[in-house]
Amino acid sequence: MHKRTESKELNMARTIIIEEVGGPENMKLVDWPVGDPGPGEIRIRHKACGLNFIDVYQRTGLYAMKLPHALGMEAAGIVEAVGPGVTHLKEGDRAAYASMPPGAYSEARVMPAAQVCPLPDAISFEQAAAIMLQGLTVEYLFHRTTPIGKGDSVLFHAAAGGVGLFACQWARSEGIELIGTAGSDEKCALAKAAGADHVINYRSADFVAEVKKITGGKGVDVVMDGVGKDTFEGSLDCLKPLGMMISFGNASGPVPPVNLLTLAAKGSLKLTRATLFTHIADHAKCQEMAQHLFSKVVSGDVKVNIGQTFPLEEIAAAHRALEGRQTTGSTIITL
């Protein structure tokens, strides 16, 4: 990857693209054209962007894209220009987003405005780049997927990751009992400190047996599972009858086909495969969710945990760290 201090031309921006799917080495840092926004669009100059597993899924081809394509789903910065029909943002506004299409690994870009959200002054660009995708994910998991309230119990896998640490804090702020799993005692301690009521090191203990022990054999009301293949079967065994399994990620690989009779045999279980982008597709709903998230951060209910930072030209190292389970909290990319 070549490194430049800054792209001087307004119509060019340093951008990470892929021309074919594959490993981290397939990502290229290039000068990419940036035009003027059309109807319903904005041009935004990024100050920081986020790193998420969906970026890996797109890079590897698990989530197909037409190539070549820029990568990155989340960023924060300053609105430089506004196209016709955009009313919730203006030139000079601070803003942040987690939305389609990919292209956030860049100095600047033109993109649809509907899912870009005005950013309160109390939240820094770095914090915003760390919270949008993960925080909005937690918002829909706890508020828009199945009814969850004070006193309910949730099993959350990878509780020391970026989404997990948000979930631990969110659950604590709402009186929800959260059992978190993680892959080391150090990560378990992070989840516990963030608000998990119970933690399980899945490398040294059977998480199904531990959940049953913690719940007196009853199981939990809801499982939130972003790990995928490795935890799916055990997760079903952790649910109460009529419990809800929310599968929302594939960190260990996609879940194999499910026999619906298995759900019946395990207690008339409910199962959904949720995605953030369905929830934020509606402009008004997306803005509402973002305001809810920002209020949690500004109030202190949820603290932003930036575990590591990489410059844009070291994006391959960032991906390797994420895939190798070597990250904690959120990871941001600086420009």
**Alpha helix (H) residue ranges in the chain:** 53-60, 125-143, 162-173, 185-194, 207-214, 232-237, 260-265, 276-279, 283-299, 315-323
Cβ–Cβ < 8 Å for 269, 243: yes
CATH class of 146-273: alpha beta
Q: Mean of the pLDDT values across residues 179-206?
A: 96
Q: Which two tokens stand for residue 297?
A: 């951060």
pLDDT of residue 326: 85
pLDDT of residue 4: 45
Residues 138, 293: Cα–Cα separation, whole Å: 9
Residues 2, 210: Cα–Cα separation, whole Å: 49
pLDDT bucket at 11, cuts 50 / 70 / 90: confident
Mean residue pLDDT of the chain comes to: 94
**Alpha helix (H) residue ranges in 47-89:** 53-60
Residues 108, 33: Cα–Cα separation, whole Å: 9
pLDDT of 6 strictly over 70: no
Burial of 146 (0-12, 13-18, 19+ CB in 10 A): middle
Q: Would you identify the CATH topology of the domain 12-133+280-334?
A: Quinone Oxidoreductase; Chain A, domain 1 (3.90.180)
pLDDT of 7 strictly over 80: no
Residues 6 or more apart whose CB falls under 8 angstroms from that of 257 comprise: none
Domain ranges of the chain: 12-133+280-334, 146-273
Q: Mean of the pLDDT values across residues 4-14?
A: 63
pLDDT of residue 133: 93
- The secondary element (H helix, E strand) that includes residue 41 is strand 41-50
Cβ–Cβ < 8 Å for 142, 164: no
Q: Mean of the pLDDT values across residues 306-332?
A: 92
Three-state secondary structure call for residue 48: strand
pLDDT bucket at 2, cuts 50 / 70 / 90: very low
pLDDT of residue 165: 92
- 56-70, pLDDT tens digit by residue? 999 999 899 999 999
Report the sign of the C-alpha dihedral through residues 245, 157, 59, 124, in that order.
positive
Portion of the chain with pLDDT greater than 70, in percent? 97
**Mind spelling out the 3-state secondary structure of 101-160?**
CCCCCECEEEEECCCEEECCCCCCHHHHHHHHHHHHHHHHHHHCCCCCCCCCEEEECCCC
Cβ–Cβ < 8 Å for 82, 45: no
Residues 45, 131: Cα–Cα separation, whole Å: 18
Residue with tokens 């904005």: 42
Amino acid letter, residue 188: C
Q: Which two tokens stand for residue 291?
A: 């305001």
pLDDT of 121 strictly over 70: yes
- 225-277, pLDDT tens digit by residue? 999 999 999 999 999 999 999 999 887 888 999 999 999 999 999 999 999 99
Q: Which of 108, 92, 89 is nearest to 49 (CA)?
A: 108
Residues 6 or more apart whose CB falls under 8 angstroms from that of 299 comprise: none
- 30-39, pLDDT tens digit by residue? 999 999 999 9
**244, β-bridge pairs:** 222, 270
Q: How does strand 116-118 pair with strand 41-50?
A: unpaired
Portion of the chain with pLDDT greater than 90, in percent? 89
Q: Mean of the pLDDT values across residues 180-204?
A: 96
- 79-116, pLDDT tens digit by residue? 999 999 999 999 999 999 999 999 999 999 999 999 99
pLDDT bucket at 166, cuts 50 / 70 / 90: very high
pLDDT of residue 10: 56
Q: Which two tokens stand for residue 42?
A: 């904005």
Q: How does strand 270-273 pair with strand 306-311?
A: unpaired
Residues 188, 206: Cα–Cα separation, whole Å: 14
Residues 289, 294: Cα–Cα separation, whole Å: 9
